[in-house]
Amino acid sequence: MTRSGFAAMIGRPNAGKSTLMNQIIGQKIAITSYKPQTTRTKIRSIYTEERGQIVFLDTPGLHRPKNRLGNYMQKASVSSLNEVDVVLLLTAPRPSLSDEDKEVLDLIRTVKSPVILVINKIDTVPEKDVAETISMYAETGLFAEIVPVSALNGKGVDELLDCLFKMLPEGPYFYDEDQVTTETQRDIAGELIREKALLLLQEEVPHGIAVTVDQMRFRKSASGEDICDINASIICEKESHKSIVIGRQGKMLGRIGKAARLEIEDMLEMKVNLKLYVKVRKDWKDSEIFMKQYGYDAGRL
């Protein structure tokens, strides 16, 4: 008999939730970056092996929202808490709890399912710091288990999976065993473009960007080679951001496009023609209508 269930990745921005999900699946499903607030919506991935199937929900980092998009992100995270059999709270090792950390713990107190504390990024600190973080969190009495991991190099991930399979109920697979995500290739292509914008642009500019994939078409070249033509738009929240995204003589847009194209080619395993356009939709992060168009529809969470 197999075990199966749902597990949500929750935590402050930058804790490594998306990196951990990708590490478990063994494939890049969610984009990651060293900048906080990378993930904007719930992203579902599916891990299947002999013991059973775990459906992971990656969520946006918990922060104090400053606009409608922030509210949407908060809702995406909080709503996942009650949709799952087990919650993984991710944190980096730390000497003490900040006010924001305490707010996250208050949220965790409201969760009915068991919560596993995942102390991530253990590759970045000495072992004694990990031990101190474990005892600080253990004192709260909120956690069914505490598991130290490095999402980046995979250390501790097997132990985490052992823990999860012990907690999940017996049950059948929810998805075909070869399905790794419910995201479409089109969704992921758009996210890869946003990831490159996040990496290459500075300050608030990349946080005001949305990406739409306007067309994605597969064809064969004259010589019979598979090719994917993609037209996508980078949406900026301000006119002044548009010229930064394009850059002098289109240099920045060219860099974003090339980096994204290479990764999309890896994902699709074929040649990609990527055409990027830049548009301004003033203050779209506070517009319900634009947010819906860009895939951030609070009504569908």
> What is the rounded CA–CA span in Å between residue 248 and residue 291?
29
Long-range pairs, 64-72, Cβ under 8 A, ≥24: 64/100, 67/285, 67/286, 68/285, 68/286, 68/287, 68/288, 68/291, 69/40, 69/285, 69/286, 69/291, 69/296, 70/285, 71/298, 72/40, 72/41, 72/291, 72/296, 72/298, 72/301
Residues in contact with Mg ion, total (CB under 5 A)? 4
150 binds Mg ion (CB under 5 A): no
Using CB under 6 A as the binding rule, whether residue 33 contacts ligand GTP is answered as yes
Task: Give the range of 12-20, 156-164, 182-190, 270-278 binding ligand GTP by CB under 6 A.
Answer: 12-20
Which is nearer to Mg ion, 89 or 246 (by Cβ)? 89
- Decide if 136 contacts 93 (C-beta within 8 A): no
Beta carbon nearer to Mg ion, 17 or 241? 17
Q: Which of residues 32-61 bind Mg ion (CB under 5 A)?
A: 38-39
Among 4, 38, 48, 91, binds ligand GTP (CB under 6 A): 38
Q: Is residue 17 within the footprint of ligand GTP (CB under 6 A)?
A: yes
How crowded is the C-beta side of 116, counted as CA atoms within 13 Å? 26
Nearer to ligand GTP, 54 or 278 (CB): 54
Q: Which is nearer to Mg ion, 39 or 133 (CB)?
A: 39
Q: Is 13 in the site for ligand GTP (CB under 6 A)?
A: yes
Contacts with Mg ion in 250-279 (CB under 5 A)? none
Structure tokens that stand for 213 in this block: 């994939």
CA distance 276 to 253: 8
Site string for ligand GTP, 135-154 (x = CB under 6 A): ---------------xxx--
| 211 closest CA partner among 274, 139, 279, 264 | 279
Site membership for ligand GTP, residue 39 (CB under 6 A): yes
> Between 17-25 and 157-167, two packed helices, what is the crossing angle to 10 degrees?
80
The partner in contact with residue 150, picked from Mg ion, ligand GTP, none with C-beta cut-offs of 5 to 8 angstroms by kind, is ligand GTP
**Lookup: tokens for 270:** 């074929």
Residue count of the chain = 301
The site partner of 80 among Mg ion, ligand GTP, none (C-beta below 5 to 8 Å per kind) is none
Q: How far is CA 5 from CA 25, 62, 84, 146, 165, in A?
A: 15, 23, 7, 19, 9
Nearest Cα residue to 20 out of 115, 149, 142 = 149
Q: Least distance to ligand GTP from the beta carbon of 160, Å?
A: 12
Partner in contact with 36, chosen from ligand GTP, Mg ion, none, beta carbon below 5 to 8 Å by kind: ligand GTP
Stretch that binds ligand GTP, among 7-15, 156-164, 185-193, 206-214 (CB under 6 A): 7-15
User: Minimum distance from CB of 228 to ligand GTP (Å)?
Assistant: 26
Dist. CA 112–CA 142, nearest whole Å: 11
Q: Which helix (H) or strand (E) holds 217?
A: strand 210-220
Which of 4, 14, 18, 91: binder of Mg ion (CB under 5 A)?
Answer: 18
Looking at beta carbons only, is 107 or 167 nearer to Mg ion? 107
- Considering the rule CB under 6 A, would residue 281 count as an interface residue with ligand GTP? no
Give contact residues for ligand GTP (rule: CB under 6 A). Answer: 11, 13-19, 32-34, 36-39, 60-61, 120-121, 123-124, 150-152
Give me the residues that bind Mg ion (CB under 5 A), please: 17-18, 38-39
